[in-house]
Structure 1
Amino acid sequence: MHALRSLNFLRSRVAAGFNCKVVLAQHPLVVDRQVQTRSERSKHTTEHVRGRRGRILDGTIDLTSEVYAKRLEYSKQLEAKYEQLMAVIRRGGGDKARERHTQKNKKVLPRERLKMLVDNDGEDFIEFSPFAGLGLQYGDVPAAGVITGVGWINGVPCMITANDATIKGGTLYPIGVKKQLRAQEIATLNRLPCVYIVDSGGAFLPLQADIFPGEDHGGRTFYNEAVMSSMKIPQVAIVCGSCTAGGAYVPTMADEAVIVKGIGTIFLGGPPLVYAAIGEVVSAEKLGGADLHCRVSGCTDHYAENEEEAFTIGRDIVNTLNVPSIYDTPSPQYEDPLFPAENLAAFATTGPNQDIDMHKVLAHIIDGSYFHEFKSLYGPTLITGFAHICGHLVGIVANQGSVSHNAALKGAHFVEICCQRDIPIIFLQNTTSSDSPEPADQQRGSEGNALRAKAKLMATIACAEVPKITVVVGGSYHTENLLMCGRSFDPKLLWIWPNATLGVQDDPRDAFYSTARLWDDGIILPQNTRQVLRKSLSVVKHFSESTTTKYGVLRM
């Protein structure tokens, strides 16, 4: 189905006079590019570097050494836990709920809906926080009851939110509201069109005090829809099930809405409430189905006979948004790193306050393992420099120990350069759980100087208007979490390795605790870091424009 859909899309572009040669040759996200093999590059290494200031990083590690072998074994255990939890998440509300959803209610499962909507059957879908909602005080809510992530529709990156009606009928828990609001925040930061696949029973009433009244509660969803629309960020809804109570406003606040005959309904109160109020028996379809809202109320704009047609209409709507598509530009050419991604698992720390050689980590992530380092001899506990990731030029800021006075000044200087040149910044966090003392040659003025330097680094990161992406690869603790663009400093995306620990000095929490509470945008396996960054950069750069960073008062 998707192959035919993509072919029809390309034919339409050819008919319109577009040059589709590069489109047919390669998809910028998924088709293998023409890259040199490692053996081919090794023959030309000297020539490749001659005349350039950077260097090829040495990523060689001994996997049989005690440290790396122990870390690799620990990483395998974490990966097994990750896969086990993902299997739970994919089952949604369980086998009985899934059977009721598909057999009795005749509806498509939410993850199958995603495949029908996006390009490539969802192969490139970036899911956010799949483990959110696990182990909370009110029990387990798989994926927080709502799937969120970025998928490409006709080459346009879109923020997609899909209710999972197999989990308590798609009702929203507090963690589900928080997850949905984070998705809208990411969409706003990156100007991503939003597509809502709606199948929701509204708020989970036993917890309504944590869902309804506050500025960051359920009502904020509708406020965000209106504000994003005013910012010319398109809002599209596809009604594939119930939209009850507050859920009814998602499609009615959207720019365009599709509804499916027979299963899509929109009303503030369903048939049971009508009967309780006035004693009238009415069907859900008659009360708020596709015919009523397409022919009478006008709450929806497109009538679909079935879900497949609904998602085809959704794709057609995205095709009319008049926004850039990845098919409009040729994909970048780049080299693979010299070292295999699988080895990144051997860098997964087994506890807090463990060092990671970030130069070696970078050698496994950046194009050609080639790094143009900035101020390599000054403030060496913070690595700064430029590299390419899958063809994208980025600035990199990575911990190589505690952030010292000099390291903080160097970091602030580098962030300013990235802002001046409109270059996205990747932060790789592995901070210590306590501030280390300054080296003897940096103790003039000592603590006060260090504090001012770190304040400068914080200020430059906070004010930086270029895209910022953070990956926590080890520890992430108190003030150094802030110095490395933690959650409170608004990175456009924040990922975390499964071995990571976060918190204040003596009370660190593991990655699964963190992600269950949406302290991050999701756990990623170390070996997937480069590919996740590739997709992340495609998202944050797609609609980006030249920016001007303005700073407040920086203490001298």
Structure 2
Amino acid sequence: MTTLRSVIDRESAEYRAAQETMISKLADLDEELAGALAGGGEKKIERHRRRGKLLARERIELLIDEDSAFLELCPLAGYGSDFQVGASVVTGIGVVEGVECMIVANDPTVRGGTSNPWTLRKTLRANDIALQNRLPVIGMVESGGADLPTQKEVFIPGGRMFRDLTRLSAAGIPTIARVFGNSTAGGAYVPGMSDHVVMIENQSKVFLGGPPLVKMATGEESDDESLGGAAMHARQSGLADYYAKDEPDAIRLGRRIVSRLNWRKAGPDPVAEPTPPRFDPDELLGIVPGDLKIPFDPREVIARVVDDSDFDEFKPEYGTSLCTGWARINGYPIGILANAQGVLFSAEAQKATQFIQLANRSNTPLLFLHNTTGYMVGKEYEQNGIIKHGAMMINAVSNSTVPHISILLGASYGAGHYGMCGRAYDPRFLFAWPSAKSAVMGAAQLAGVISMVSNAAAQARGSAVDPDADAAMRAAIENQIEEQSVPAFLSGMLYDDGVIDPRDTRTILGLCLSAIHNAPVEGTTDFGVFRM
């Protein structure tokens, strides 16, 4: 039997404490997400509605197929910055006429939908996901262009947004722009570089320079409609391919465009019918302890995520701090690497390397479940080759070509974050549980290292060490690292694609795997030199 067993005791004090901590973190997360949902606030929303316009998420809801899911991505972008949480744009994957599409919708209630540095990063991330996974892109455009006070951070890198549209088109991935309001200055190139363009009568405005700028530059008198209105672009410039009467009509036309794409997935179909896990996904709330120094068994997570809780473990008696094995999620094959006891030793690194090679041989996507403090340090481990073995694992992750998905469950520290396919290693998707933390090392360890280095430097200068000042410095550093290691902060930096409720893990993985299979799923035999 390969069905996983569970030893979770929902009545135990440990389980209840972990559950309460997770529920508290989820409540905090809901507060932050509410900020993104609120957009520019009640006054801006009311003004938007008085103009007869729908909100960004209402437009998305009308666009996607009825009762289908919308996987919103990076909703906390900009958290901890001077900008509105959400970064004035909504991005995510939704099903339109049976086709999974990347949807990018400006939120015009937030500073007119202008693009600040976080808007740009979030949009570029959406483009990367679309290109990697071969997803048609639907832009729901209503933006005043760059947020001018931040132009030094937006203008130069912002050119990539237009480059991405042309590269998507060149790759045969359709791009559709529906213009709901202003698309001015550089933003005019969004419809200009899209394959299909829908504009709305008396609402869409697309021009490189508005009437005031034209007046200053050329002395010419003009108005919005003659300069860049939908009627002009539909009848004279030819920029508009479709001329809609209102927003619902534009959304209808957008759906019709998708229905005529004759889009087909290029990846393999699921190999089996989905089978629910045998254990209650609600129990995922109590698996990760509030104190990440306390280990937990990732098999308890796997048992509540994979089909029928069925898991063929690979090398279960070797390198036991890393659990590896084969399963299915929503009928799709998956290879799983999950940290079991936090620390990665040489055996774990070698085991992971072989497993990643096997997944590439069988064209099987990989799922990384993080809870690692990194690779083991110490004289014995250095002498036994921990560097070359860790490098071997990172080499395998770096050069693997099957799709990767990462989920940070607990700790994700040091080079262990790299070996488990952190953001820098381009997983197709990366999510975090509210319990997760990620940094170069744990806060206490980092503060201790800085303290020792600082004290050694003081002694070398012949200065006395002040214990009180040292303690205060350590406390300040620990607090800073704790603040910068939590999921909301990291998600705000776009180091993940969202902080998710553990109970939604299987659903989100299923949506991601379905999206991934729009593109071919192909492994490789080409890896760098493995130092033996």
User: TM-score by structure 1 length?
Assistant: 0.85
Matched, 1:426 2:371: no
Matches within 5 A, 1:347-386: 347-386=287-326
**Partner in structure 2 of residue 339 of structure 1:** 279
Letter in 2 for 1:499: S
**Partner in structure 2 of residue 408 of structure 1:** 349
What SS does structure 2 have at the residue aligned with 1:494? strand
Instruction: State which of 476, 495, 514 in structure 2 corresponds to 1:538.
Output: 514
Q: Distance in 2 between matches of 1:209 and 1:349?
A: 44
Taking a change above 3 Å as real, the CA distance of residues 331 and 485 of structure 1, as seen in their structure-2 partners, is: closer
What is the CA deviation profile of residues 335-378 of structure 1, one whole-angstrom value per residue up to 9, with x for unaligned ones?
21111001101123324433121111111111111110000001
Cα contact 2:14–2:289 (8 A) shared by 1? no
Cα contact 1:353–1:432 (8 A) shared by 2? no
**Partner in structure 1 of residue 174 of structure 2:** 234
Cα contact 1:375–1:410 (8 A) shared by 2? yes
**Partner in structure 2 of residue 521 of structure 1:** 497
Taking a change above 3 Å as real, the CA distance of residues 268 and 358 of structure 1, as seen in their structure-2 partners, is: same
**Partner in structure 2 of residue 466 of structure 1:** 402
**Partner in structure 2 of residue 454 of structure 1:** 390
Cα contact 1:93–1:142 (8 A) shared by 2? no
Matches within 5 A, 1:136-155: 136=81, 139-155=82-98
Matched, 1:120 2:120: no
What SS does structure 1 have at the residue aligned with 2:243? strand
Q: Deviation at 1:433?
A: 6.0
Q: Deviation at 1:164?
A: 0.4
Q: Deviation at 1:307?
A: 1.1
Q: Distance in 2 between matches of 1:510 and 1:355?
A: 18
Instruction: State which of 302, 323, 328 in structure 2 corresponds to 1:388.
Output: 328
Q: Distance in 1 between matches of 2:525 and 2:176?
A: 32
Matched, 1:56 2:15: no
Cα contact 1:433–1:475 (8 A) shared by 2? no
**Partner in structure 2 of residue 192 of structure 1:** 135
**Partner in structure 1 of residue 413 of structure 2:** 477
User: TM-score by structure 2 length?
Assistant: 0.88
Q: Deviation at 1:63?
A: 2.4
What SS does structure 1 have at the residue aligned with 2:87? helix
Q: Distance in 2 between matches of 1:447 and 1:529?
A: 40
Q: Deviation at 1:84?
A: 2.1
**Partner in structure 1 of residue 18 of structure 2:** 71
Q: Distance in 2 between matches of 1:106 and 1:56?
A: 55
Taking a change above 3 Å as real, the CA distance of residues 386 and 433 of structure 1, as seen in their structure-2 partners, is: closer
Q: Deviation at 1:64?
A: 2.9
Cα contact 1:154–1:325 (8 A) shared by 2? no
**Partner in structure 1 of residue 104 of structure 2:** 161
Matches within 5 A, 1:316-331: 316-324=256-264
Q: Is the deviation greater in 347-356 or in 55-64?
A: 347-356
Taking a change above 3 Å as real, the CA distance of residues 396 and 303 of structure 1, as seen in their structure-2 partners, is: same
Cα contact 1:107–1:263 (8 A) shared by 2? no
Q: Deviation at 1:332?
A: 4.7
What SS does structure 2 have at the residue aligned with 1:195? strand
Q: Is the deviation greater in 313-322 or in 487-496?
A: 313-322
Count the aligned residue pairs: 490
What is the CA deviation profile of residues 127-186 of structure 1, one whole-angstrom value per residue up to 9, with x for unaligned ones?
0010111221xx231311111111111111111111000000000010110000000011
CA RMSD of aligned residues (A): 2.0
**Partner in structure 2 of residue 85 of structure 1:** 32
Which sections of structure 2, spanning at least 5 residues, go unmatched?
Answer: 447-480
Q: Distance in 2 between matches of 1:483 and 1:545?
A: 21
Q: Distance in 2 between matches of 1:178 and 1:348?
A: 31
Instruction: State which of 123, 126, 142 in structure 2 corresponds to 1:183.
Output: 126
Cα contact 1:485–1:491 (8 A) shared by 2? yes
Instruction: State which of 248, 258, 261 in structure 1 corresponds to 2:201.
Output: 261
Letter in 2 for 1:106: G
Cα contact 1:433–1:504 (8 A) shared by 2? no
Cα contact 2:414–2:439 (8 A) shared by 1? yes
Taking a change above 3 Å as real, the CA distance of residues 255 and 390 of structure 1, as seen in their structure-2 partners, is: same
Cα contact 2:265–2:519 (8 A) shared by 1? no
Cα contact 1:353–1:431 (8 A) shared by 2? no
Taking a change above 3 Å as real, the CA distance of residues 203 and 349 of structure 1, as seen in their structure-2 partners, is: farther
What is the CA deviation profile of residues 360-399 of structure 1, one whole-angstrom value per residue up to 9, with x for unaligned ones?
1111111111110000001000000001112111000000
**Partner in structure 2 of residue 37 of structure 1:** none
Cα contact 2:65–2:95 (8 A) shared by 1? yes
What SS does structure 1 have at the residue aligned with 2:11? coil
**Partner in structure 1 of residue 453 of structure 2:** none
Q: Deviation at 1:107?
A: 1.3
What is the CA deviation profile of residues 308-355 of structure 1, one whole-angstrom value per residue up to 9, with x for unaligned ones?
1111111111122222269x9799523211110011011233244331
Q: Distance in 1 between matches of 2:422 and 2:160?
A: 24
Taking a change above 3 Å as real, the CA distance of residues 525 and 283 of structure 1, as seen in their structure-2 partners, is: same
Which sections of structure 1, spanning at least 5 residues, go unmatched?
Answer: 1-48, 50-54
Q: Deviation at 1:447?
A: 4.0
Q: Distance in 1 between matches of 2:221 and 2:6?
A: 71
Q: Distance in 1 between matches of 2:506 and 2:126?
A: 22
Q: Distance in 2 between matches of 1:540 and 1:274?
A: 45
Q: Distance in 2 between matches of 1:352 and 1:339?
A: 24
Taking a change above 3 Å as real, the CA distance of residues 302 and 331 of structure 1, as seen in their structure-2 partners, is: farther
Letter in 2 for 1:414: F
Matched, 1:487 2:423: yes
Cα contact 1:465–1:549 (8 A) shared by 2? no
What is the CA deviation profile of residues 449-498 of structure 1, one whole-angstrom value per residue up to 9, with x for unaligned ones?
11111111111111111110000000111200001000011100001001
Taking a change above 3 Å as real, the CA distance of residues 358 and 499 of structure 1, as seen in their structure-2 partners, is: same
What is the CA deviation profile of residues 379-427 of structure 1, one whole-angstrom value per residue up to 9, with x for unaligned ones?
0000000011121110000001211100100000000000000001000
Q: Distance in 2 between matches of 1:437 and 1:358?
A: 26
Letter in 2 for 1:399: N
**Partner in structure 2 of residue 20 of structure 1:** none
**Partner in structure 1 of residue 54 of structure 2:** 108
Instruction: State which of 145, 160, 170 in structure 1 corresponds to 2:113.
Output: 170
Q: Distance in 2 between matches of 1:437 and 1:511?
A: 30
Q: Distance in 2 between matches of 1:473 and 1:212?
A: 36
